[in-house]
Amino acid sequence: MDSEKSVAKFGVRLIVAVLTLLGGSLAIFTAQASTSIFSTFLPVFASTNLGIQSDEVATLSLIGLATTILSAPLFGFYGDRVGRRKLSLIGALVLGVSIAATSQMTNVLTLALGYIGVAIGTSMLLPSLIAQMFKDTGTHWLLASVAALYFTMTQLAVVTVFGSPLIQQIGVKTGLIIAGLAILAGGSVGMGFVGLSHVLSRRYVWRDEWLDLARDRAQLLSLTLILIAVFLIGWTTSSIGNSVLFFAEEQLGLQPSDVALAVTALGGALVVFALFSPSAGVLADSLDWLTLRFVRRQLGRQLFVAIGVLILCSGLGIVLLANDTQGVAGSLIVARLGVTILSPSLFALVIARAPHRLWGTMAGLYLAVSAASNLGTTASGFVADTLGLASPFVLGIVVAALALPLIAVASKFEKERR
């Protein structure tokens, strides 16, 4: 009888995990595709159709970024307290309505409200949804694997938006309405799967006691160091695209058509990397388990972050040696490969710093710090103008490399799981 109950419980847990992961992946894909349409095409639409100045458009983007930085941790914490599924569904509604509504806005003030609404909707949806996906897998040893799903859906969404001529054909205004409806539909269906998993799991409540890490100063210092590492790596990755393309045109003298070929090559590689990302997460989780078993230290995720950073830095170094389109494309692809390898493990390292009841807060902190690191895009132009075209790449290598000792020190404060 006990064995039958165990089998039944395992079956329910497996169904719960599958439903949550499927629903969460669908909701993440539609949310990221919709926000990609919003962030990419709305500035162009505002400048060309509404006559809004470029500096005002940049200010709107900064308002949205600041809102995300402030609201993501708060809504992550709020979801931990009142219910992640409910907050995620509300977030999908706010996000969809905000994106669709911006198609009807005609001045800077109303567009600012649109940017704020999109940032708040994203902050309500993603931290709680990702935390629920982590929790419903029921084990700490799949954190990087689940994180990889988030990055896979994000990359596939971006490639879908940029690889499709749909927006150019139907117009930005109609595209924004469709994007808003897509997140409403995709978010509702996705959260429906997550809600169904909740119905199935109510009778089978489990809790991993060893996840209940002590909330002491050592753990707080460990989390702080990891978040600083996230910021440093994010700073480097956010500045790559603009810096490489500007370097290719100004330093190498490549024509815009040649640069476009490099970007096209990167788009094809992104699809491959998006499909590879889950494998990187699974391998990192497996190695983490093996190193704990045999050497009594969890080194798998740290090792994958280190490998990813080294590959990322290699990509930045290749830029300085490139002299043609193939070299530029190769540098972008190598750098993106490094990001693909390190991202799931880096996210998992943040989540692992807290008990599961605070995972929404941790996801919010990760997303907020990642958003703040996008300031590297703006800073890279200033650095290039001040110190030379090659300086953003040298600075990027140094900044990314600084993250590795921070992660190593943070691991010293992590309590051994039992």
Q: What domain range is 415 assigned to?
A: 213-418
Distance separating alpha carbons of residues 148 and 342, to the nearest angstrom: 10
Question: Is residue 305 located within the same domain as residue 333?
Answer: yes
Q: Give mean pLDDT, residues 154-174.
A: 71
Let me know: does 310 contact 342? Beta carbons within 8 Å: no
> Among 206, 227, 249, where does a domain finish?
206
Distance separating alpha carbons of residues 195 and 204, to the nearest angstrom: 15
Question: Is residue 240 located within the same domain as residue 171?
Answer: no
> Among 179, 206, 233, where does a domain finish?
206
Provide CB contacts within 8 A for 182, sequence distance 6+. Answer: 30, 33, 34, 96
Question: Is residue 57 located within the same domain as residue 34?
Answer: yes
Name the band, by pLDDT with cuts 50, 70 and 90, for residue 208.
very low
Provide CB contacts within 8 A for 215, sequence distance 6+. Answer: 354, 355
- Number of structural domains found in the chain: 2
The H or E element spanning position 108 is: helix 108-136
Question: Is residue 198 located within the same domain as residue 225?
Answer: no
pTM of the predicted model over 0.75: yes
How do residues 209-254 score in pLDDT, each as one tens digit? 334 444 456 777 888 889 999 998 888 887 776 676 667 666 666 6
How do residues 335-346 score in pLDDT, each as one tens digit? 888 989 999 999
- Give the 3-state secondary structure of residue 205: coil
Greater confidence (31 vs 160) lies with 31
Q: One-letter amino acid identity for 288?
A: D
Tell me the CATH number at 185. Answer: 1.20.1250.20
Phi, psi of 311 (to 5 degrees): -70, -40
How do residues 32-76 score in pLDDT, each as one tens digit? 888 888 887 777 777 777 777 777 878 888 888 899 999 999 999
Distance separating alpha carbons of residues 68 and 414, to the nearest angstrom: 28
